[in-house]
Chain A
Amino acid sequence: MDRVLNQFIVSLRGAGVPVSVSESIDATQALTISGYGNRQVFKSTLAATLAKSVAEKEIFDDCFERFFTFQSPTATLADRQESPEQEQPGDMPIPGIGGMIREGDMGGIALAVRDAARSADLQSIRFFTQRGIFTSRILQAMQLDQLDRVVADLYRQGGGGVATARQLERGRDALIDMVRRFVDEQYEIYARESTERIIERYLWDARLTELEERHYDRMQFLIRKLVKRMNDRYSRRRRRAKRGALDFKRTLRANMHHGGLLFETHWKEKRVNRPDVVILCDVSRSMSTVVRFCLLMLYGLNEVVARIRSFIFCSSLLEVSHVFETSPVAVAIERLRTGEGLDIHMGRTDYGSALWDFTSKHLDAVTGKTTVIILGDARSNYGDPADELLKKIAERCRRLVWLNPETPAMWGTGDSEMRRYMRLCDHVMECSTLRHLEQLVRFLVKIP
């Protein structure tokens, strides 16, 4: 059983549950106590010792059902074998796997496949391109070449042997099929996560503007993960002791019951405040994916960011905070994309008029505590850039951040006004991949 348990743990790790050595020892001990008699108890035992969070429990359930459900893979082999080739039983014993096929020993074949899989080290399969290699390794371990030789011999002898040879050949084909399917199944068990991981790594550095639609779901999942990590990390930093300064009032109070003797000291703490954010997004077509994921992330960061007011602009500017307040983030973003029920003019992008709209109607949204983020490529179609208006915003706010999805080399080329705008900003960064979004969070929590 230990070996089976080990394999199961390998498959759990493959699926993304980080099982430590001590936990696998616990599982083994726990099983000696609770026994193998009852499937439900067995499952609960493993769940209690191996999967240690809600997410892991889900993966565990899935893995457990896959792993400990034994579907006899030989069913197809049996069907094909029912041909009436039984007239000459046992004239010549056929060695190895051939004999099992001849006798229809399904259990034996299934066992042989598992044994061969073990000796071929199938549990180390990681990539789907390895499936062919493992299939052939397993077949080799089952001595398929020997079977081929037997078949050839039988043909050469002719007579009654030919029928047997045909039967063996059919059996061999079915066997190959079966092994292939078995490898596929095992690949699903052991390697699902690693393929995911490759895609994930790719997505971290993929340009959001060029992201294919089929990756959207995965990207959202990644962003949720990122957001969770950031929330976890920065929620704790909000209160940090500032060494050196004694909080005299609190110290006195805490030591009152010691008769005024100062046993306990209390130190002044510095609260790291969460920033207020005002974000202005360019929603012209070239920008839509970046805006989508950036907003998805910002609105998730409730531990890092205190309040967000969001505006979108193209030819004109419009506040959309209410959309996010009334519906879940994913729905709200979808509404922005379709522009449903929003009074925005989607003509040529005009940064000048967008800035004018903002400074004339919404400038009170910007205070000394606000971080203003502008997300846009600064391509204003040769219109008036109105950088004096941006200057007005920059003077009012705490920090002005410009996120540009283009690479820095492209800034200032053609109709891009980036060079002109960036002089007024406190921080300018490229924002085209998930990694950049992560850097943005790091920047946001650093309040000067």
Chain B
Amino acid sequence: MTDENGKFESVEKVSEGFRRAGYICNTDIATTVYLAFHLEKPVLVEGPAGVGKTELAKKAAAFMDVPLIRLQCYEGLDESKALYEWKYGKQLLYTQLLRDKLDQVIDREKDLGESIRTLHRYEDIFFSPQFLEPRPLLQALQKEQGAVLLIDEVDKADEEFEAFLLEILSDFQVSIPEIGTVRAKTRPYVFLTSNSTRELSEALKRRCLHLYIPFPDPDLECQIIRHHVPSIPNRLEKQLVMFIHEVRKLELKKAPSISETIDWARALILLHAGGLDRDLTRKTLNTFLKFEEDIRAVDEKLPLLIDKALKETA
């Protein structure tokens, strides 16, 4: 893709542009996004659930003003669901409708060899782009203006699918036996996300830039919350972020993510809270903790955690 509006002129510009699109990013993220654009390489994003991996791709599409094409991976995902499929139904329908026409073409009078030879001349009709159902990967290659291609949770797909991705990600072209090679008109900007449920292959990693998004530090998280919940009082915001950070230090089944922090902030605003207190926190624990055991564990240590959060922000 070309950088017409100078959006990718420098790391700072990228960072600024994402901020305007509604995504607060640190230097790591901004630098990687900036590099990926200029090197035309895919970005492999890893990190705990809910830190905004998918959001990054969405906001990148908004920032670049191109469509987002998303491919959700799951076990058993194969080429026909990811790349293209023939519209078998349409093909059948057309052959039914055109039966008479076909009869004419083949001309029952001729012998078998002749008929088959005649038929051979027409077979391309049924395997032409009109009968091709493009799936996300092919769609991304076909977009004239370029696109952001998000391959979500690639670790859930099978090993074979990963190998298949390699061809597309390194050359941005695919071969369809009946039609030929389809080359990207404009190289799409690719994000792959992974929750590290399994190790991805070395070959795939080698072709990508790697970005690890951890839970943000308190400052960054404050900025994110302020962005999403502008009406939050300053004091509450600081206390809330400190509290969440203390909670993340505990050994929980699922640590609260950024999106959950935002939910909680919204909930507290609805309840007209000016600052954290024990009672209110206890009642709203379930907005950011999603397991009974986690809620119990935090509840036990609640006074201590609240005290810490208040002391840090005092």
A126 within 8 A of B: no
> Bound complex: CA of A434 vs CA of B114, how far in Å?
72
CB-CB under 8 A from B282, the residues of chain A are none
A44 touches B212 (CB 8 A): no
B209 within 8 A of A: yes
CB-CB under 8 A from A52, the residues of chain B are 44, 205-206, 208, 210
Nearest chain A residue, comparing its CB with the CB of B209:
A48
B39 touches A53 (CB 8 A): no
Residues 167 to 212 of chain B near chain A (Cβ within 8 Å): 196, 198-199, 202, 205-206, 208-212
Residues 1 to 59 of chain B near chain A (Cβ within 8 Å): 11, 27-28, 30-32, 34-35, 38-39, 41, 43-44, 46
Nearest chain B residue, comparing its CB with the CB of A57:
B212
Smallest beta-carbon distance A23→chain B, Å: 6
Q: Please, what's the 1-or-0 string for A256-288, where 1 marks a CB less than 8 Å from any CB in chain B?
A: 011101010000000000000000000000000
Residues 68 to 100 of chain B near chain A (Cβ within 8 Å): 88-89, 92
A33 touches B35 (CB 8 A): yes
A214 within 8 A of B: no
Residues 42 to 81 of chain A near chain B (Cβ within 8 Å): 44-45, 47-49, 51-54, 57
B277 within 8 A of A: no
A232 touches B27 (CB 8 A): no
Smallest beta-carbon distance A233→chain B, Å: 10
Smallest beta-carbon distance B173→chain A, Å: 19
Q: Please, what's the 1-or-0 string for A223-240, where 1 marks a CB less than 8 Å from any CB in chain B?
A: 000000000100110000
Smallest beta-carbon distance A319→chain B, Å: 23
Q: Please, what's the 1-or-0 string for A5-49, where 1 marks a CB less than 8 Å from any CB in chain B?
A: 000000000000010101100100110011000101100110111
B307 within 8 A of A: no
CB-CB under 8 A from A47, the residues of chain B are 28, 210
> Bound complex: CA of A29 vs CA of B41, how far in Å?
12
CB-CB under 8 A from A34, the residues of chain B are 11, 31, 34-35
CB-CB under 8 A from B41, the residues of chain A are 26
Question: How many pairs of residues, A versus B, come closer than 8 Å at their CB atoms?
Answer: 75
User: How many residues of A sit at the interface, in one of the four size bands?
Assistant: 20 to 34
Most chain B CB within 10 A, of A57, A235, A257, is at A57
A30 touches B39 (CB 8 A): yes
A258 touches B32 (CB 8 A): no
> Bound complex: CA of A232 vs CA of B32, how far in Å?
29
CB-CB under 8 A from B209, the residues of chain A are 26, 30, 48-49
Nearest chain B residue, comparing its CB with the CB of A49:
B209
Cross-interface CB contact of A235 among B43, B44, B198, cutoff 8 Å:
B198
**Interface majority SS (helix, strand, loop, mixed), chain A:** helix
CB-CB under 8 A from A44, the residues of chain B are 27-28, 30-32
CB-CB under 8 A from A29, the residues of chain B are 39
Given A53-B46, A232-B199, A263-B88, is A30 in contact with B35 using a C-beta cutoff of 8 Å?
Answer: yes
Smallest beta-carbon distance B40→chain A, Å: 11
B124 within 8 A of A: no
CB-CB under 8 A from A18, the residues of chain B are 202
Q: Please, what's the 1-or-0 string for B128-168, where 1 marks a CB less than 8 Å from any CB in chain A?
A: 00000000000000000000000000000001000000000
> Bound complex: CA of A263 vs CA of B31, how far in Å?
47
Smallest beta-carbon distance B76→chain A, Å: 9
Given A38-B11, A53-B46, A257-B89, is A22 in contact with B31 using a C-beta cutoff of 8 Å?
Answer: no
> Bound complex: CA of A52 vs CA of B209, how far in Å?
8
B210 touches A41 (CB 8 A): no
Residues 343 to 360 of chain A near chain B (Cβ within 8 Å): none
Smallest beta-carbon distance B224→chain A, Å: 19
A41 touches B31 (CB 8 A): yes
Given A33-B39, A258-B88, is A48 in contact with B206 using a C-beta cutoff of 8 Å?
Answer: no
CB-CB under 8 A from A20, the residues of chain B are 206
Binding site for A on B (CB under 8 A): 11, 27-28, 30-32, 34-35, 38-39, 41, 43-44, 46, 88-89, 92, 159, 196, 198-199, 202, 205-206, 208-212
Q: Which 8 A-B pairs have the closest CB atoms?
A: A44-B31, A52-B205, A52-B210, A48-B209, A48-B32, A40-B27, A44-B28, A258-B88
Known: A22-B206, A41-B11. 10 other contacts (CB 8 A): A26-B209, A34-B35, A38-B27, A44-B27, A44-B30, A44-B32, A51-B210, A54-B196, A258-B88, A259-B92
Binding site for B on A (CB under 8 A): 18, 20, 22-23, 26, 29-30, 33-34, 38, 40-41, 44-45, 47-49, 51-54, 57, 232, 235-236, 257-259, 261, 263
What are 11 A-B contacts defined by CB distance under 8 Å? A30-B209, A44-B27, A45-B35, A48-B31, A48-B209, A48-B210, A49-B35, A53-B196, A57-B212, A232-B198, A236-B159
